[in-house]
Chains A and B, each alone.
Chain A
Amino acid sequence: MGPRLKLFIPLILFAVLALFLFRGLELDPKELPSALIDRPLPSFELPALGGDRMLRREDVIGEVALFNVWATWCVSCRVEHPYLHMLAEQGVPIIGLNYKDDDTDALRWLEELGNPYRVNIVDAQGTLGLDLGVYGAPETYLVDAGGVIRYRHVGVVDERVWQDILQPLYRELKTGRVN
């Protein structure tokens, strides 16, 4: 039995390897878990887009909301924009984080494409982005009523992402089933 069992070793090795590779097909190495999950939104003091007032952390938290990192130089943000509109129309609060952008460009963008954001935080230097661990745009954070980050999605938020991931979490947070 011993020597004959040895003959199966290559087959077993192949099966194990195939299993790992098959699993790998579904993994996206670009999806990094945020280091800030279940941690409070970092504090900041940054200007609001299109106004003189300063925004602080306390001004933008208080209800379950999406924090959307966007910029006019970000091509995917343009793709994402109509969907954000739809969400805003459904009553989902969206806070914009205008990341390393030019104010004039950003205002023109909102004028042309519409403004789904409750308010826009101007992060021209990317300081808040750095504290959030942002490494590109678009990124979307789901923040609960207590200002704690619950989820981070890197890339475009579309129907699939919203239905499969964000909406269930959003609903749970709304009804307060997650502490």
Chain B
Amino acid sequence: MAASARLLMLLLLLTAPALAVIETYEFSDEELEKRYHQLSGELRCPKCQNQNIADSNAPIARDLRQLLYTQLEEGASDQEILDYMVARYGEFVRYRPSFSSATAVLWLAPLLLLMAAVVVVVLTLRGRRNAATGEGGSELSAEESRRVQDLLDESEKDA
């Protein structure tokens, strides 16, 4: 029993650490590495559509990371890299697509919805306040009570 336990321990120690999905790149500059992380987080994998290329282990994502690395080391600007990707894979590859007639709804919808929400809230609150003052208005002023009393007296006289 002790022997098998020891064997198990040994085997556990021998297991290779799980191979990382993402390969590592050596950057010549820390700034480049920062931009690499930023851009790979912002570029969307065309194959597995809900992942960015940094998280995906699809072959195409690996290729795009390799390409991104090469371009960064060659001194390409962020805009150049994004333009290059968009020219091949379309605006789709960007999680932050540029503003155009096709993406206008995407960009403006949150703002419009927020504005609509504000309008609804304002209208609701105003409605509530009006209702509240309406109740307050049911109490008669001294002048009004006197008039009511007069009218009542009159009707009594008539009767």
Q: CB-nearest residue of chain A relative to B90?
A: A35
CB of A132 closer than 8 Å to a CB of B: yes
From B47, B49, B87, give the contact of A35 (CB < 8 A). B87
B63 touches A130 (CB 8 A): yes
B47 touches A133 (CB 8 A): no
CB-defined contacts of B67 to chain A, threshold 8 Å: 130
CB of A91 closer than 8 Å to a CB of B: no
B49 touches A30 (CB 8 A): yes
Q: Separation in Å of the A117 CB from the closest CB of chain B? A: 23
SS class, residues of chain B in contact with chain A: helix
A133 touches B89 (CB 8 A): yes
CB of B131 closer than 8 Å to a CB of A: no
SS class, residues of chain A in contact with chain B: loop
Given A130-B67, A136-B47, CB of A35 within 8 Å of CB of B60: no
| Complex interface bits, B44-72 against A, C-beta within 8 A gives 1, otherwise 0 | 00110100000000011001000100000
CB-defined contacts of A36 to chain B, threshold 8 Å: 88
**Tally of contact residues, A, Cβ under 8 A:** 16
B90 touches A33 (CB 8 A): yes
CA distance A165 to B157 in the complex (A): 92
CB-defined contacts of B87 to chain A, threshold 8 Å: 35
Q: CB-nearest residue of chain B relative to A136?
A: B47
B92 touches A32 (CB 8 A): yes
Q: CB-nearest residue of chain B relative to A37?
A: B90
Would you list 7 pairs from A and B whose C-beta atoms are within 8 A, ordered by A residue?
A33-B90, A100-B59, A126-B63, A130-B67, A130-B88, A135-B46, A136-B47
B-to-A contact residues, CB < 8 Å = 46-47, 49, 59-60, 63, 67, 86-92
Given contacts A34-B90, A130-B88, 16 further A-B contacts (CB under 8 A): A32-B89, A32-B90, A35-B86, A35-B88, A35-B90, A35-B91, A36-B88, A100-B59, A130-B63, A131-B88, A132-B88, A133-B88, A133-B90, A134-B60, A135-B47, A136-B60
